[in-house]
Amino acid sequence: MKIGLFFRLAWSNLKKNHQLYIPHILAGTGLVGIFYIMMTLAKDERIKNIKGGYAIPDIMMIGIWVVVLLSVILVFFTNSFLMKQRTREYGMYNVLGMEKRHVGRIMFLESLISTVISIVLGILFGILVYKLCCLFICKILRVETILGFYVNWESLWKTAAGFGAMYLAAFLWNRIRLARLRPVELLSAQAGEKEPKTKWILLLIGLATLGTGYYLALTAESPVKAIKVFFIAVILVIVGTYALFLAGSIAFLKFLRRRKGFYYRRTNMIAVSDLLYRMKQNAVGLASIAILATGVLVMISTTVSLYSGAEDSLKHSFMDGKADLFVSATIHSYAEDEKKWHMELVPEDVLRENTERIIEKYGSKVTSFHAAWNVAESFCLEKDGSTHLFLPDRTLDMPPENAMVFLFMTAADYQGITGIDAQFGEGEIGWVPLSKNAASLTGRVDGTIRFGSKTYTVKEKLDYFPNSIEISIIDAYGIILPTVEDLENVGEQIMKETDWYKTPISYTYAVKIADPDIVSKNDPDGEIEDDFAFAINEYVIKTYGKDYSNTAGWNSIWKTRDEMYAIYGSLFFLGILLSIVFLFATALIIYYKQISEGYDDRHRFQILLKVGMTANETKATIRRQIVIVFLLPVITAVIHMTVAYPVILKLLGLLQLYNDKLFLLCTILTIAAFTALYMVIYRLTARTYYRIVR
């Protein structure tokens, strides 16, 4: 047989089965386009070189692997569905005289045509939309627009090769399935299914895994514990969701059937009976929709919250507007005879003078210069209330759960920067919780705590501490000590346990600037930080000599803003792209599910019409079944999101999102928007179902 005949048959089959192949091609087009966009963003040097663009490549690589995984699943899912729907047709070819190798050639050409169309349209879509994506990225990163048309040829051929390999693998799998089927199996009608049995073991597994996942999510008391349990909880919830849809739905429907008063009503009896058989073949699809919906809710609500709350986080990190800059500097020297390093502080007047001079050089002036905190160290709390110094680099993974961060400040410095008169008696300290989920310090230490050689009474909880960052990964507290001598006592403990510093007390100063925007505008390349480091280095060499080294700290609000928008903006953009991919998958599963059920239910409802049900009653029964089936995944996703809300809130604290109300609002709006979009998808696909059934 000539290749032209095979090609005409393949093309004719695609046109006749357009209802099946058009969604398949459109979904492939979207996946190819988004993959090309992500790959190109990861390799575009123009994006890397814009302010804040450094984070785009790494974050896009995360998205690429997610898209690859989901694309493989969807390609095999759609091909499996197409193979199922076309089996009888292929069997007819076989009966009419074609050998299986001839049928395989038709299958190959059908697959080749649809694959080429998907890849070509997808790459064209990606190239055209890439410019829009660049404009959007520049907007969210708050930088000037990148101009010019751009095509990355490496991304182009890798995209084409990757998806070509996926579709080829799917075809080979279908070809193997075809070779193993006998002609009688290809032509045979679907046999009626037996009533599904309740799989009690699977049901118990589902309840146990889902309950354990929920328990882990709800009982995570700190961000450290949240990090440890979150991914375990996610896996357990996914397993539990599939198990409960497979076994729990059947058990629930059988429970309804045993309720005589409910079941023996005409519409209820038909709906429950049909759903009982429907769930056996559709449980996996519904569970997949629920998981994908949960993924969309989590990604959109978190990334929108992070991006929208960036300015609030920034304001909080810089002392609620009381600082625009934090500076610090230390001098280091190595004592050969002692075989250890010593540290000294650069005097406050030197820091102030150089900071003022550099800020004036860039167009503004310093309006205030105060101590922000004196020393910050991590401790582990012993059972007797004493503390043991904990350095994060001593562990291989995460800090221990009893670890705490203390930021120390004297009462005089605290009053100088806050204006709050915090006076304590001998051996008394004040405290401020700095981490969002920090437990009560008085509850943790029974009213007293030991630093160095001295035991202190935890006297008063204060409402404000002028820290530059909110520590979230472990419990953190601001500690106000009565005198400088008490601060030196803390320093002695640090010095003893580290055997490192001569003077471990280090001062960080908060600087307020008249117009930080002018400074940022006059310093587009970030040279001001180098100027400060150079000035401190000159002072150290001039005063102490070349044998001394130094460390200069410069943390500005404008640089932090750029870094924050770089991370949050990149995550926001990735969340949008991945949500689109997840919606592709959701819509595709729903559409093919409607078609599959339409063909299965057509004969069933024709029988109901023949035995006396009216057309309106039949339509009402159909509508009730579809609504119940398609509401289950959304309800499940909302429940998952509600349970995960507390642990996600703790994890967002690690990214410095402190506005709980903002995350709650974003979550509610995301659920509402997704539900509305989901119902639109349902109504559009339901038309296909009704048309097939009628």
Alpha-carbon 377 to chain mean position? 30
Chain centre to alpha carbon of residue 210: 21
Q: How many other C-beta atoms are found inside a 10 Å radius of the C-beta of residue 303?
A: 23
**Confidence label for 432 from pLDDT (cuts 50, 70 and 90):** confident
Nearest CA to 330 out of 546, 529, 508, 534 is that of 508
Q: In which band, very low, low, confident or very high, does the pLDDT at 91 lie, cut at 50, 70 and 90?
A: low
Residues across the chain: 694
Q: Smallest Cα–Cα separation from 587: which of 689, 688, 680, 692?
A: 680
What does the buried/exposed string (b/e) look like for 368-384 if buried means 16 or more CB atoms within 10 Å of the residue's CB?
Answer: ebbbbbbbbbbbebeee
User: Which tokens is 27 given?
Assistant: 């979904």
| Strand, helix or coil for residue 200 | helix
Secondary structure (3-state) at 694: coil
Residue 462, judged by CB atoms within 10 A of its CB (0-12, 13-18, 19+), counts as middle
pLDDT digits (tens, 9 = 90+) for 584-619: 788 888 777 777 766 666 666 666 666 666 666 666
How confident is the model at residue 347, as a pLDDT?
Answer: 85
**Token pair belonging to 265:** 């009503």
- Contact between 511 and 323 under an 8 Å Cβ cutoff? The reply is yes
Please, which residues have CB within 8 angstroms of residue 457's CB and are 6 or more apart in sequence? Answer: 427, 428, 429, 447, 448
Of 250, 154, 169, nearest in space to 202 by CA = 250
Structure tokens at 234: 């996610």
Fill in the amino acid letter for 419: G
**Cα dihedral angle (516, 520, 522, 524), rounded to 10 degrees?**
180
- The whole-number pLDDT of residue 395 equals 46
If you search the block for the tokens 């390609």, which residue do you land on? Answer: 75
Smallest CA-to-CA distance from 237 within 282, 263, 207 is with: 207
Helix, coil or strand: residue 234: helix
H or E element: which one contains 603?
A: helix 557-610
Among 83-97, 98-112, 573-587, 633-647, the minimum mean pLDDT is found in 83-97
Which residues are within 8 A (CB) of 672 and not within 5 positions of it... i.e. 6 or more apart?
none
pLDDT score at 189: 46
Q: Which of 261-270, 329-338, 389-398 has the highest mean pLDDT?
A: 329-338
Distance between CA 462 and CA 481 in Å, rounded?
A: 13
Three-state SS at 407: strand
Per residue, the 3-state secondary structure of 355-386, as one string, reads: HHHHHHHCCCCEEEEEEEECEEEEEEECCCCE
Q: What is the pLDDT of residues 543-554, one digit of tens each?
A: 887 777 878 888
- Report the C-alpha gap between 250 and 534 in whole angstroms: 72
Token reading at 613:
């049900």
In this structure, which amino acid lies at residue 100? K
Among the listed ranges 385-389, 504-508, 518-522, which one has the minimum average pLDDT value?
A: 504-508
Both tokens of 89, joined, read 């047709």
E strand map for 286-402: 325-335, 340-345, 366-373, 375-381, 387-389
> What is the pTM assigned to this prediction?
0.75
**Region of residue 99 (phi > 0: left; psi between -120 and 50: alpha; otherwise: beta):** beta
**pLDDT for position 224:** 62
Q: Based on C-alpha coordinates, what's the Rg of the chain?
A: 33
pLDDT tens column, 635-694: 899 999 999 888 888 778 777 777 788 889 999 999 999 888 888 887 777 777 777 766
What is the four-CA torsion angle of 617, 623, 629, 635, rounded to 10 degrees?
A: -120
CA atoms within 13 A on the CB side of 297: 31
